[in-house]
Structure 1
Amino acid sequence: MAKEAPLAGWAGARPPASLEGRALAYVSLVLMALLSIFFGALRSVSCARGKNASDTPKTITSREAICIPIIASCTLLGHYLAFKIFFQEYIQLLLSMYYCVLGILELSHTISPMIHKFFLANSSNKQDQLLFTQGSGETRKEMVNYKFDTKDLVCLVINSAVGVWYLLRKHWIANNLFGLAFSLNTLELFHLNDVSTGCILLNSLLIYDVFWVFGTNVMVTVAKSSEVPIKLVFPQDLLEKDLEANNFAMLGLGDIIIPGIFIALFLRFDISLKKNMHTYFYTSFVAYIFGLGLTIFIMHIFEHGQSALLYLVLACVGFPLLVAVAKGEVAEMFSYRDTTPMEVP
């Protein structure tokens, strides 16, 4: 899953071709991040009600929130050492194959509802079944039991074409399609059930991000060296070179997913209040925009890759907390548990 990927901060590969190209790249990255969080939050509501998701949500506990930065650090350092010790070409090939297969599955899960709803609504609903068992008789155990229909096969074929495109060209559009799918599905399926756990997760990952970005060159090295879709990229020289541009600005998926999980929690909290107002969701959404904008500004002041989570965490935690203080709902916010049935707004 996308949570296994290293969480890279902002970085610019080379000086951009023009001020307009740089602005276009950053605006595009911000829009992709915002769309991922917005629709991921909506899908998390549907997932919590058991709709539009084939899997039940995975709730992140406070203990897991503390362990995630340790796991992420080991993964990040493993990527870094692999690039330094082994032939980089072989490592890139193995990682590309792994993320390509994973990306095809994630992208299929993402666009499957659209395929079912808009393109093949009148086709047969007959399902086939792929079943693998172990043993026989009463001791037989199901190892794989996957049901699919024609719509699923069409979806898989389409996304396999994207996978082939990615493997052959490593094109930035194919990279972003996989990256967006990783982000959406993670926001849909991984839930925080209370604000306290969310604060633990965000602040522990803030420490992780600051250390690996400012304390070492590991984060920036992995982000620039890796060609796998663990980040969103957009060319700063698109206006000069069109789709063959190669001077990229980038945003790590962790800088979308980690704050996004917290923002999705606030949407479910707003719905639980049953006031027909999504105050905390929109506040945290605006906070994310503010934090991302501040990251870009600071990056250009110091001309160095920044820890986006440093600014995003402070904004996404601070803004909703100030609103809760103003509305007198601090106790209600921290006592909320994500168990109330809800409807999609």
Structure 2
Amino acid sequence: MTSDRDLFVAYGALMGGALLPIYHGAYASLRTPRSTIEKLKARKKLSDADLSDYEEELDESGLPETLTSEDAYWLPVLGSAVLFGMFLVFKYLDKVWVDRVLGFYFACVGSFAVTKAFLAVVTGVLGRERIKNMDLTKLQLSRRVRKGGIKGKESKPQDLLIVRLTNIHPPVVVLSSIVVGAYLWNKHWILSNVLALSLSLSSISLLALDSFKTGSIMLAGLFVYDVFWVFGTNVMVSVARGFDGPIKIVWPKNLVEGLFDGATDWKMTMLGLGDIVIPGIFIALALRYDQHRYAKVNEKLLITKHDVDFPKPYFKATLVAYVAGLATTMLVMHFTKAAQPALLYLSPACVGAIVITSLRLGQWSETWAYDSNEEDAKADEEAKRAKGEAAGEDEADDDDDDDDDNDEAAWEGVKDDGSNATQHPRSTRSSTRKRKTSTKTDK
């Protein structure tokens, strides 16, 4: 029989395993503020300053995938369809072949996630500066959009994909391939956890909520989803236990007994990736909002995604709330001896943390009005306005130069021909400017 000591060791391991991708995934989701990118682009255009240290920031194009409120409404529906579909597949098809197909699929997807996770570990060990000084190969996929049909004018190239490869990439890719191959070979629970945590890390760093309103809608919808599929049916528990793949992190409930007493039959406790990724992207939003507030107050500073030394009240509050919610889930599960929908506790905890923090700091309206897409749109408008003003100044300078030339020509005409003595030089300048403007319009 598994002792309480072994169970609490397992709960602690699951807690630590969940916090690892959430914490690092939130920091990996940080992006250089749009205002900084526009400043760097303007500096690069106006001067020959060395901006090699900011090359990565100049290549950024914002958050890769942004979830809006419309997406949040659909998540419980799509999640239910996928979950019930997997339940039917396991019920009516050969479980062995289903495991093989899904295992191969998750291994292929997980190989990229494992590579990314290992690269993050190596970068943390060696240091970002040492990595930057390595030989760099940059792969860039761009496209041009032609406006006005085949004979129209081409726009500036738009980057679709930018990949930077250094000397550490080949050995990391080889190591990742070995890990994934070993997982496919024997499906060991430790290797499964490596893939599951890597997938969680990648998901949290790549998926971004646009606002706390969207996040609250998502958590509320999945709150109902989780409660229904766990308490209302046995579908979720059946799928989680039936599929031996990296869709959950597991830990032996009798690990201590096995290490010291020689037990060989592992009895696992588990935590689904949904209970990590869903709250994780909400917590990542809180960290990006802290960064946004700091950048807004310090507009004159060139703040990049690597500048993480800023106040983080919202991030800390949601992280503590997640720990409290997950601990509550485990305690209830421990005493009731029944599976619990973790989002029943995690969703109110995370949303409540934002509510309490915004009220405590007197930032309720600002916090709930925040929308990353609108902020990016404002930054783009300001950048366009600044470019327009700069272009207007350049055109005005050109016009002034033309005016000087016209004035000289007019005065020369007065001196050379007495019939022009009654003509004011200003009229010549005015007519010349009108003619110039009409020429531009015709073009």
Q: Same fold (TM over 0.5)?
A: yes
TM-score, normalised with respect to structure 2: 0.65
For residues 258-279 of structure 1, what are the alpha-carbon distances to aligned partners after superposition, in whole Å with 9 as ceiling and x for unaligned? 1111111111112222274211
Q: How far apart are the structure 2 equivalents of 1:121 and 1:332? A: 38
Aligned residues: 316
Q: How far apart are the structure 1 equivalents of 2:248 and 2:32? A: 25
Is the aligned partner of 1:290 residue 2:324? yes
Per the alignment, in what secondary structure is the counterpart of residue 45 of structure 1? coil
Is the aligned partner of 1:273 residue 2:293? yes
Structure 1 unaligned regions, length at least 5? 1-15, 132-137
Q: How far apart are the structure 2 equivalents of 1:113 and 1:159? A: 13
Structure 2 unaligned regions, length at least 5? 35-55, 142-149, 151-159, 298-309, 380-443
Counterpart in the other structure of 1:27: 12
Amino acid of the structure 2 residue aligned with 1:237: N
For residues 165-198 of structure 1, what are the alpha-carbon distances to aligned partners after superposition, in whole Å with 9 as ceiling and x for unaligned? 2112211111111111111111111111111001
Deviation larger for 323-332 or 39-48 = 39-48
Residue 81 of structure 1 is aligned with which of 80, 85, 88? Answer: 88
Counterpart in the other structure of 2:343: 309
Residue 192 of structure 2 is aligned with which of 175, 183, 198? Answer: 175
**Higher Cα Rg, which structure:** 2
Q: How far apart are the structure 2 equivalents of 1:253 and 1:211? A: 18
Deviation larger for 161-170 or 119-128 = 119-128
Counterpart in the other structure of 1:231: 248
8 Å CA contact 2:31–2:62 kept in 1: the answer is no
Counterpart in the other structure of 1:45: 30
Deviation at 1:116, TM superposition (A): 5.6
% identical aligned pairs: 35
RMSD: 3.0
Residue 172 of structure 2 is aligned with which of 127, 134, 155? Answer: 155
8 Å CA contact 2:33–2:292 kept in 1: the answer is no
For residues 276-323 of structure 1, what are the alpha-carbon distances to aligned partners after superposition, in whole Å with 9 as ceiling and x for unaligned? 421111111111011001111111232110000010001111122022
Deviation at 1:66, TM superposition (A): 1.0
Per the alignment, in what secondary structure is the counterpart of residue 174 of structure 2? helix
Counterpart in the other structure of 2:239: 222
8 Å CA contact 1:213–1:307 kept in 2: the answer is yes
Q: How far apart are the structure 2 equivalents of 1:184 and 1:55? A: 19
For residues 36-89 of structure 1, what are the alpha-carbon distances to aligned partners after superposition, in whole Å with 9 as ceiling and x for unaligned? 111111111147776699994210011111111111111111111111111100
Q: How far apart are the structure 2 equivalents of 1:57 and 1:123? A: 26
Cα distance change of structure 1 residues 59 and 47 upon mapping to structure 2, 3 Å threshold: farther
After the TM superposition, which parts of structure 1 deviate over 6 Å for at least 4 consecutive aligned residues? 47-50, 52-55, 128-131, 143-147
Deviation at 1:235, TM superposition (A): 0.8
Cα distance change of structure 1 residues 218 and 54 upon mapping to structure 2, 3 Å threshold: farther
